[in-house]
A and B are shown apart, each in its own frame.
Chain A
Amino acid sequence: MLRIIFLLLAALLAFAPAHAQDADLNTLLETHRAKIEKPSRTTIGPVLDALVASQLPGVAVFLEKWREKELWQRKSDGRFFLVEKADGGKLMLIDVGTGEQAGLADKADLDNLKPNSGVRGVIAGALVQFQLSDPDPERRLQALTALERDPDASHLGILRAAIDSEPDPAIKARKERLQRLLTIQFGSDQANRVAAIESFAGDPGVDARAALNPLLATSIKVFDTAPEGVNVARLLTPGSDIEPDIAYQLLVDAGKARPIVPLADRKQALIDNIENGLVAGIPVAELVTQSARDRAYLALAGNGTVPPLVTKEEQRQALADHVFAEVYAEPDPVLTTAARETLASISGTVGFYQFVDLALDGLSLASIYFLAAIGLAITFGVMGVINMAHGEFIMIGAYTGYVVQQFIPNYTVSIIVALPLAFAVAFLAGVALERLVIRYLAHRPLETLLATFGVSIALQQVAKNIFGTQARPLTSPSWLDGAWVLNDVVSISYIRIAIFVLALAFLGLLLFVLNKTRLGLEVRAVTQNPRMASSMGINPDRINMLTFGLGSGIAGIAGVAIGLFAKVTSELGSGYIVQSFMTVVVGGVGNIWGTLAGAGMIGSLQKLIEFFNPSNTLAAQTYMIIFIIIFIQFRPKGIIALKGRAAGD
């Protein structure tokens, strides 16, 4: 019925827009005032129907403003207005019906009406008919989005009517796709619907599955004989397809079998039948085991005071006497078959894309681990030094980014400034640490570990004292907002892509520095044989200092990257330190490719485990670490180990 009205309305809109009406919108609103003041998704429908049906000129504008939380109400008389900013902090009232100015008012005299998002969704649904053929493409898109979110059978006709006149090809394609989706759900013609269903074969869109899946909704039903006249998905055998207990409960619910007396009821029955400290002649004190209680209950049942128990045999017989089947809610088998086949083809596509998405996630995580660990790998590999304060260098980088954003409000510029600055700050911090502490602990790697741990807790607390304990915002420029979307399954945020690119850049840069520059040559010389290197005129102290600064500087840059996609707190670094160690150790020490391999393995493996155990990320991390411990058994020197005697102990 409603649908027909809407169709009529749509026709009216198409052929005779803007009927002149005598009634005033304000009057109409007045009659619905209570519901407009405190709207709810469940009660607003009739109000909207009335507004739309009134065909008054201001309705579309009113609905739009209402949805955008720009509707105001005068406290004194409850009248609704739109407003504009006026001089002196006052608001200029605008009449909703005529669009004319209606005097100034104080903000305190007005209430801003803010419908919740559920109501806004319903309003958007009501707006569809006004907007679907609006000259402004922005409005048309809004209407389509509203339709996609909450489609209604009544919309199908309006939508079909709005396709041909659509000038924009992209919007037209979207309208057509939506039309097919609505046809699947609300279409009346079997052939049309089947065609629409089949047109989505291999389409990974969530909306396509969302339209198809409801067709295949089933419920389990009980039949006395083989089911007829219903669309059966499959027959169920108790014991293999369905738990016997559940099946029996279905029978009980259908009134086809006697209910089983639950344990609690049996206990209550015993309590109710206590007489002089005896239950059916058994002293209460003896009822300390379940079997004793069962005996007492059976005795009571024998007297007929309580309902007898259902025996296993009786249950078995009841199950054997009935047929259980999964039945489609959709009666038409042609539709369900088409939907099932289309979904099967979709699930293949989706499976492939899910794998792609997982690979992207793994790659992204790997690049983050790589960035976090590579600085550590350099210092560890070249100097054999375990720097527990590495995480705090990451933190320093992130806070540098935050501080820069306090001075440079433009996010793009601030990131461009922050990256080299974070490198510089962390570089200096690293050099300071090397000069002041690590140099004096040469050849005592375990003690370096402890000293740098001391530095780590001191730095963390200092950061807390300076920046406070709250997380600080580090905001990415708006061009990094959002995600690269291939389809509804595969997408990855631009930030992650940027981090990936950054990681690649650093890989390239480091390879260049280590393999093509004088510094790299000297670093490699010091790594392989410090005594020989120093006899050749290389100053190992200088090299160590520079290497340590380089490693720390990269950690600083990693800090900016991590801060952009996660959070900036004083504990930011400590969350990555153990992971970074494992990346370095798994990959193999003293080798950039090794770190890359380690990060790649840990990142992708973690995602893989998460994939198999989606409801428990914590377990995934545990298994990951156990895997690493076992992996080290087989490759104690990591994936890519330095070979030969030099690598020996």
Chain B
Amino acid sequence: MSALLEVTSISVSFDGFKAINNLSFEIGGQELRAIIGPNGAGKTTFMDIVTGKTRPDEGRVRFGEPQLDLLRLSESQIARAGVGRKFQRPTVFEAQSVRDNLTMALSNDRLPFAVLRYKPSKEDDGRVSALAEEIGLSGELDRTAGELSHGQKQWLEIGMLLAQDPKLLLVDEPAAGMTLGEREHTTDLLRRAAETRAVVVVEHDMEFVRRLDCKVTVLHEGSVLAEGTLDHVTANSDVIDVYLGR
């Protein structure tokens, strides 16, 4: 099986500071992966590069089958090619209803004129209901998203990502600010999502990563420090050095 996402020796620097240094990374079609690392390790920059927000100074990013060169695509093209991204802060469109949020995210034609002519079909309504069911917001469909609780907004955002039907899902600190119950729900959501697609979770919280129970990549100073199961990497002396400080 060839990898879904293939990142080869990318580097990027800001004002002389190397945020990513010769980083290579691969992930398969249906896989759940956690990326951990201390502040400034380059986790967010890595996601920025994959989603097209930041251009690397060198290196290659290939995605999908047939292979696409992500570096040549704009953010929206990358998203349409099947890369979904969830931000650290929950960003849903608070002025709009949960239904509108989800409808917008449905994987339909996204070009302006098609959207202008768009009429909600039976199928789409069904998808929206199913998604709402999955993220536990069935009863909230016609509420304004701004009125939801913090956790609900996180789920709505994940729901919107699922609605996009991406092949690769990048999730930035999904558990931040959640109650224990909410975390469990979130873990379930992510693990279920990873059954049909690749999911990359960037997380600080070791507990949460442990619960995900997946392969872990540790980033440090812009490169991969260690890779393997959580137990494996936490046993790595370099990782301990980095986390506990030298």
Contact = CB atoms under 8 A, between A and B. Distances in A.
A adjacent to B, CB under 8 Å: yes
A643 B15 CA distance: 7
Nearest to B44: A645
A643 B14 CA distance: 7
Interface in A618-649: 643-645
A89 B145 CA distance: 91
Q: Is the interface of B mostly helix, strand, loop or mixed?
A: strand
Interface in B14-49: 14-15, 17
Interface in B99-132: none
Interface string B48-81: 0000000000000000000000000000000000
Nearest to B45: A645
Interface string B3-18: 0000000000011010
Contacts of B14: 643-645
A444 to B, nearest CB: 15
A639 B233 CA distance: 46
B49 to A, nearest CB: 13
A487 B15 CA distance: 47
Contacts of A645: 14
A180 to B, nearest CB: 63
Q: Is the interface of A mostly helix, strand, loop or mixed?
A: loop
A644 B14 CA distance: 5
Interface string A53-76: 000000000000000000000000
Nearest to B53: A648
B47 to A, nearest CB: 13
A644 B15 CA distance: 7
Nearest to A649: B53
Contacts of A643: 14-15
B75 to A, nearest CB: 12
A582 to B, nearest CB: 27
Contacts of B17: 644
A643 B54 CA distance: 13
Contacts of A644: 14-15, 17
A644 B17 CA distance: 9
Nearest to A648: B53
A648 to B, nearest CB: 8
A169 to B, nearest CB: 62
B51 to A, nearest CB: 14
Nearest to A642: B15
Nearest to B19: A645
B42 to A, nearest CB: 12
A644 B54 CA distance: 11
A397 to B, nearest CB: 38
Contacts of B15: 643-644
Nearest to B17: A644
B70 to A, nearest CB: 19
A645 B48 CA distance: 11
A643 to B, nearest CB: 5
B41 to A, nearest CB: 14
A644 B40 CA distance: 13
B89 to A, nearest CB: 14
B153 to A, nearest CB: 20
A73 to B, nearest CB: 83
A645 B14 CA distance: 8
A645 B13 CA distance: 11
A644 B12 CA distance: 11
A510 to B, nearest CB: 23
Interface string A321-337: 00000000000000000
A643 B13 CA distance: 11
Interface in B189-230: none
A51 to B, nearest CB: 82
Interface string A495-520: 00000000000000000000000000
B202 to A, nearest CB: 16
B104 to A, nearest CB: 21
Interface in A200-257: none
A643 B17 CA distance: 11
A11 to B, nearest CB: 83
B15 to A, nearest CB: 5
Nearest to A643: B15
A528 to B, nearest CB: 14
A47 B166 CA distance: 103
B102 to A, nearest CB: 25
Interface in B219-245: none
A112 B17 CA distance: 83
A644 B13 CA distance: 9
A90 to B, nearest CB: 84
Nearest to A647: B14
Nearest to A645: B14
A621 to B, nearest CB: 35
A202 to B, nearest CB: 50
B221 to A, nearest CB: 16
A591 B17 CA distance: 21
A155 B34 CA distance: 100
A363 B17 CA distance: 36
A270 to B, nearest CB: 61
A645 B40 CA distance: 12
A323 to B, nearest CB: 68
A647 to B, nearest CB: 10
A599 B15 CA distance: 25
A649 to B, nearest CB: 10
A512 B210 CA distance: 53
A191 B14 CA distance: 73
6 contacts: A643-B14, A643-B15, A644-B14, A644-B15, A644-B17, A645-B14
Interface of B: 14-15, 17
Q: Which 6 A-B pairs have the closest CB atoms?
A: A644-B14, A643-B15, A644-B15, A643-B14, A645-B14, A644-B17
